Amino acid sequence: MSQVIARAATEGVPDVRTERGERAVFCGLTSIIWLHRRIQDAFFLVVGSRTCAHLLQSAAGVMIFAEPRFATAILGERDLAGMADCHEELDRVVGELLARRPDIRRLFLVGSCPSEVIKLDLANAAARLQNVHNNRLRISAFSGSGIETTFTQGEDQCLASMVPDLPELESGSQRLMVVGTLADIVEEQFRRHFAQLGIEAVDFFPAARADNLPPVGPGTRLLLAQPYVSDTVAALCKRGAKLIPSLYPLGVQGTLAWFQAAAAEWGMDADSVSQALAIPVARAQKALFRVREHLKDKSIHFLPDSQLELPLARFLRDECDMSLLEVATPYLDQMLMAPELSALGAGVQLVEGSDLDSALARVRASRPDLTVCGMGIANPLEAEGLRTKWSIELIFTPVQGFDQVADLAGLFARPLARERQLEVGSWS
Amino acid sequence: MELTLWTYEGPPHVGAIRIAASMRDVHLVLHAPQGDTYADLLFTMIEREGRRPPVTWTTFQARDLGSSTAEMVIETLQGVCERYHPKVLLVAESCTGELLQDQPGALARGAGLSAPIIPIEMAAYTRKENWGASETLYQLVRGLLAGKARATSEDSSATTEKRRPSVNLIGPTKLGFRCRDDVTEVCRLLERMGVGVNVVAPLGASPHDLLRIPEADANVNLAPEVADLTCDWLRRQFKQPIIQTVPLGWGATRDFIAEVAQVLDLDINPDVVGESRLPWYSRSVDSTYLTGKRVFVFADGTHALAAARMARDEMGFEVVGLGTYSRERARDVRALASEYGLEALITDDYLAVERAVTELQPELVLGTQMERHIAKRLGIPCAVISTPAHVQDYPARYSPQMGFEGCNVIFDTWVHPLIMGLEEHLLTMFRDDFEFNDAAVPSHLGGEGAGAQQPDNVEAIPTVAPGAVAWAVSAEKELRKIPFFVRGKARRNTEHFALEQGLSVIDVETLYEAKAHFSR
């Protein structure tokens, strides 16, 4: 950490270039794919079009779950022409749904592009439905529309919609809230590490059960597990919580800095944290060492997609010795990314937004050893002889924390290892 | 507003992309928000395409609404013309684009672009994917050929005495079911009949190729869901007859040969055109165990109709359920179903299909990716015969569904998930054998199609009103000796029998009385 701060002080932050043009990202509805696995008694009802339903089943790896806890209320011409009252229709559909799934404890009404454009007020609908089903479950609304959210931002909107329901933290106490979905196994590891640091008052948001809502108040300290939770952080801060600025828990350095930042709030200095976590740190470094040789001196280009691009780039450069050709991200939250920007320092090509064809032209010109991109683009680049890593896998894999560092590096090393191993014709 | 868990078809603009992605030198501009670009992955991931579909999206965001979305359309169109130089530029909207009423087609026409424009109205809130594909192909063909006279076939026939007859294959697309191999197989079949293939469209065609469509003697309608409209227009415009039989199955392939011969006035003996192993494989004694196996069929219209005929007439199965999600083929499917003494299931509601399968307890499900899921949940063997399909249904090997080789492929595909003949008998005889019992998977399938490994769903599903009849412990035990693949049916039949007889308790005797009552 101290090393990172030193560089930031001397070298500044990257220049950011903003691009506008064609974008190739999922919309926020995609977040439902992991959120509905994380919050095990929640149901996500998208109010949208056939496109929304089709996106969800295509992005979900096509129907991995026979009866999922998400569905789409498809708007028809009658709804749009005002022949049917959308709110009455929604009440009917929610009634049908709840009759089918008595096990559901929280229902999210999820806004889409069409529902936003026709200005269907889902927050109002959620409040009305809450009155009808008050004793049964909580109902709230958020937008996962493509006109407002990209990919992981759907989770941000979902969490922000739950913030008003969080109970008040009793005054005088201090609790840590880890914000952003983590794999169960990572949550368990993190709980053990916090215990090793003597921090017992830890909540994870979202939790596996919808009823298990963490309290929030002036004693709440926010530690972000994911970098895309801007609106949630704003909503929590309005309720008195304070953000602990930190690198994100990707890589050994990122994870250690993350625990150090949290521990500082509990009066623990950085060296004590390093000592307390010496065993997992050493284990992670040892595991990473073997993978790093495959990545060393290789070049990488990030196309904008998951919003994890900055911390991943920092990890791959600082801990795997890769060289960064370009790091693009769908949008840049200067506040939540400040520590990562400092860590990256000046001299990194950082792009906010997207102009797909010109970005692809740069990839073709520089021919990076590895390109991180969305699923729609990966095979076409592979067919041009360029190795890729599709970024949705980074969201669907436990990659945070010490014991996942080598797995994370392995995700990037595998396409390169495969290229070395295969003896079947050429890629292009 | 319609509650949907899974959908059989995507929105209509995905159909438009299928047409554009099937062709060369065509580009599609879609007025759509960011996020709709997910459609690229259908082609690059599911079908493993090595190129991005030729689609450019305006990807407007909330901040663009009300001010600049129309400008974005024009900028996108101009960029596409400069970068890709398409021979034809298709312009359409996704569902959200349609709500903005920017009218990108009109904008494109007024923008002085270098490429010819064909705008397509998508009707996103009433129509679906196959309609979108059909409409796009039709507008494209009509846009290029309207005003053209019938090709100078009379002149050419005058100069070259024995002109080789030729047909067009209309309908195969990207993301269709086995279209790549079906085209190869049908071309081979026609080649052996001495019939040339003039144009295949849209798969692999350029706009220039479409201009040659009128040169053929007839159009083969290979995918009615996509090609009906276009074939009809070509018939009216150029007097090109339509060859309607889709060569899916042994009988259908022979009917196809006969129809081609009749339309083109050729004297052809189907026996010399080619042969399939299906008739012998089906007649060989090992296949006896297929007789009367209860099969449920649900697919797009074309594949459902073909599969039902094959299942009954060529495999010796009993078709116990038949349906389609293609409403445009509802009439044909209803007619065939009634011929089989069934009521067709016409729905795009996945849950309705699941209810039907649960109720019927078939021994084999022939369906789509969705039915594969239903069957897996219920522990019933399944083969996929139609879109929607997943990445494993776009295989590396040559595996057509059409023509004589298609019959071979289908025979293998349908028989593979089933337990083989003698194995099935032994399971019935020694149900409690500790090593070789019906909780084991078929011996040639490691881990897949694990019928009774699933928790016994059959037991959990009340088939008559709960509490109406009770099972005596002895009868319940006896029921468990019946192999799992017919146990559900036995339970249901026995309960209905007991109700009819006014019995409140089912004992072992009732079980066998019912068996005798229902035996064929």
State the 10-residue block means of pLDDT for chain A, 428 residues long: 39 88 92 91 96 88 66 92 87 92 94 95 95 91 95 96 96 96 95 96 94 95 98 98 98 98 97 97 96 96 96 98 97 96 95 94 97 94 94 89 96 94 78
Phi, psi of A351 (to 5 degrees): -125, 130
Q: Which residues of B touch A27 (CB under 8 A)?
A: 33-36, 38
Among the partner residues B5, B59, B369, nearest to A68 by beta-carbon distance: B5
**In the block, residue with structure tokens 């017919």:** B486
- Determine whether the interchain pair A116/B62 forms a contact, defined as Cβ–Cβ distance below 8 Å: yes
Identify which has the larger pLDDT, B438 or B341: B341
- pLDDT of B468 strictly over 80: no
User: Is-cis flag, bond preceding A206, omega within 30?
Assistant: yes
> Concatenated DSSP letters for B201-215?
ESTT--HHHHHTGGG
pLDDT at B466: 57
pLDDT digits (tens, 9 = 90+) for B72-89: 999 999 999 999 999 999
Identify which has the larger pLDDT, B202 or B488: B202
What CA–CA distance (Å, rounded) separates A280 from A276? 9
The answer to whether A184 and A209 are in contact (CB under 8 A) is no
Among the partner residues B36, B128, B391, nearest to A146 by beta-carbon distance: B36
Q: Quick one: which of B238, B31, B17, B476 has its CA closest to A54? A: B17
> Concatenated DSSP letters for B1-25?
-EEESS-SS--HHHHHHHHHHHSSS
- Determine whether the interchain pair B376/A66 forms a contact, defined as Cβ–Cβ distance below 8 Å: yes
Tell whether B46 is within 8 A of chain A (Cβ): yes
Helix (H, G, I), strand (E, B) or coil at B486: helix
Indicate the angle between helix axes A230-238 and A153-162, nearest 10 degrees.
Answer: 20
What CA–CA distance (Å, rounded) separates B145 from A291? 59
**In the block, residue with structure tokens 């003698």:** B422
Least confident of A60-64, B101-105, B399-403, B451-455: B451-455
Tell whether A23 is within 8 A of chain B (Cβ): yes
What CA–CA distance (Å, rounded) separates A189 from B194? 70
Identify which has the larger pLDDT, B351 or B10: B10
Phi, psi of A177 (to 5 degrees): -115, 120
What CA–CA distance (Å, rounded) separates A73 from A36? 17
Least confident of A224-233, B335-344, B422-431, B490-499: B422-431
The answer to whether B37 and A357 are in contact (CB under 8 A) is no
**In the block, residue with structure tokens 């200067």:** A334
Q: How many CB atoms lie within 10 A of CB B67?
A: 9
pLDDT at B419: 74
What would the two tokens of residue B38 be?
């997910």
Torsion of CA B303, B307, B313, B319, to 10 degrees: -130
What CA–CA distance (Å, rounded) separates A364 from A100? 51
pLDDT at B450: 42
Beta-strand pair B294-299/B364-367: parallel
Cβ-in-10-Å burial (0-12, 13-18, 19+) of B446 comes to: exposed
The answer to whether B194 and B66 are in contact (CB under 8 A) is no
- Determine whether the interchain pair B41/A374 forms a contact, defined as Cβ–Cβ distance below 8 Å: yes
Which DSSP letter does residue B312 get? I
Distance from CA of A74 to the nearest CA of B (A): 5
pLDDT at B455: 40
ipTM of this complex: 0.92
- pLDDT of B411 strictly over 80: yes
What CA–CA distance (Å, rounded) separates A18 from A91? 43
- Single out the catalytic residue among B102, B155, B286, B438: B286
- pLDDT of B68 strictly over 90: no
- pLDDT of B463 strictly over 50: no
pLDDT at B151: 54
- Determine whether the interchain pair B42/A96 forms a contact, defined as Cβ–Cβ distance below 8 Å: no
Work out the average pLDDT over B439-450: 53
Q: Quick one: which of A151, A174, A164, A163 has its CA closest to A227? A: A151
- Determine whether the interchain pair B3/A63 forms a contact, defined as Cβ–Cβ distance below 8 Å: no
Give the long-range contacts of residues A86-95, CB within 8 A, separation 24 or more. A86/A118, A86/A120, A86/B1, A87/A125, A87/A128, A89/B1, A90/A47, A90/A125, A90/A129, A90/B1, A91/A128, A91/A129, A91/A132, A92/B1, A93/A45, A93/B1, A93/B3, A94/A45, A94/A129, A94/A133, A94/A139
What CA–CA distance (Å, rounded) separates B92 from A51? 15
Task: Please name the residues between 244 and 273 in chain A that touch chain B, using a CB distance below 8 Å.
Answer: none
Question: What's the one-letter identity of residue B269?
Answer: N
Task: Please name the residues between 24 and 53 in chain A that touch chain B, using a CB distance below 8 Å.
Answer: 24-30, 47, 49-51, 53
- Determine whether the interchain pair B3/A96 forms a contact, defined as Cβ–Cβ distance below 8 Å: yes
pLDDT at A366: 97
- Determine whether the interchain pair A93/B1 forms a contact, defined as Cβ–Cβ distance below 8 Å: yes
What CA–CA distance (Å, rounded) separates B323 from B336? 10
pLDDT at A65: 56
Helices (H) and strands (E) in chain B, counts: 23, 16
**Confidence at B233, pLDDT banded by 50, 70, 90:** very high
Beta-strand pair A42-48/A370-373: unpaired
Least confident of A195-204, B396-405, B493-502: B493-502
Edge to edge, the sheet with strand B196-201 lists B196-201, B166-170, B218-221, B242-243
**In the block, residue with structure tokens 């974008």:** A23
Tell whether A96 is within 8 A of chain B (Cβ): yes
**In the block, residue with structure tokens 């050729």:** B266
Beta bridge partners of B248: B402
What CA–CA distance (Å, rounded) separates B245 from B241? 12
- CA separation (Å) from A47 to A92, A94, A108, A231, A262? 13, 11, 10, 21, 39
What CA–CA distance (Å, rounded) separates B207 from B213? 10
Q: How many CB atoms lie within 10 A of CB A300?
A: 24
Beta bridge partners of A27: A150
What would the two tokens of residue A254 be?
């990122």
pLDDT digits (tens, 9 = 90+) for B144-201: 999 887 655 554 444 455 689 999 999 999 999 999 999 999 999 999 999 999 999 9
pLDDT at B6: 86
B313 part of the active site:
no
Tell whether B132 is within 8 A of chain A (Cβ): no
Residue of A nearest to B348 (CA): A50
Plot region of A44 (φ>0 → left; ψ -120 to 50 → alpha; else → beta) = beta
Sign (positive/negative) of CA torsion B240, B246, B247, B251?
Answer: negative
Residue of B nearest to A62 (CA): B390
Helix (H, G, I), strand (E, B) or coil at B291: coil
A159-197 per-residue burial string, b: 16 or more CB within 10 A, e: under 16? bbbbbeebeebeeeeebbbbbbbbbeebbebbeebbeeb
What CA–CA distance (Å, rounded) separates A140 from A132? 13
pLDDT at B316: 97
Distance from CA of A270 to the nearest CA of B (A): 42
Sign (positive/negative) of CA torsion A87, A92, A93, A97?
Answer: positive
pLDDT at B496: 87
- pLDDT of B446 strictly over 80: no
Beta-strand pair B2-4/A70-74: antiparallel
Tell whether A19 is within 8 A of chain B (Cβ): no
- Determine whether the interchain pair A22/B45 forms a contact, defined as Cβ–Cβ distance below 8 Å: no
Work out the average pLDDT over B221-237: 97
What would the two tokens of residue B201 be?
């469209």
Q: Where are the beta strands (DSSP E) in A303-404?
A: 323-329, 350-353, 370-373, 388-390
Tell whether B40 is within 8 A of chain A (Cβ): yes
Q: What is the largest distance, in Å, between two alpha-carbon atoms of chain B?
A: 86
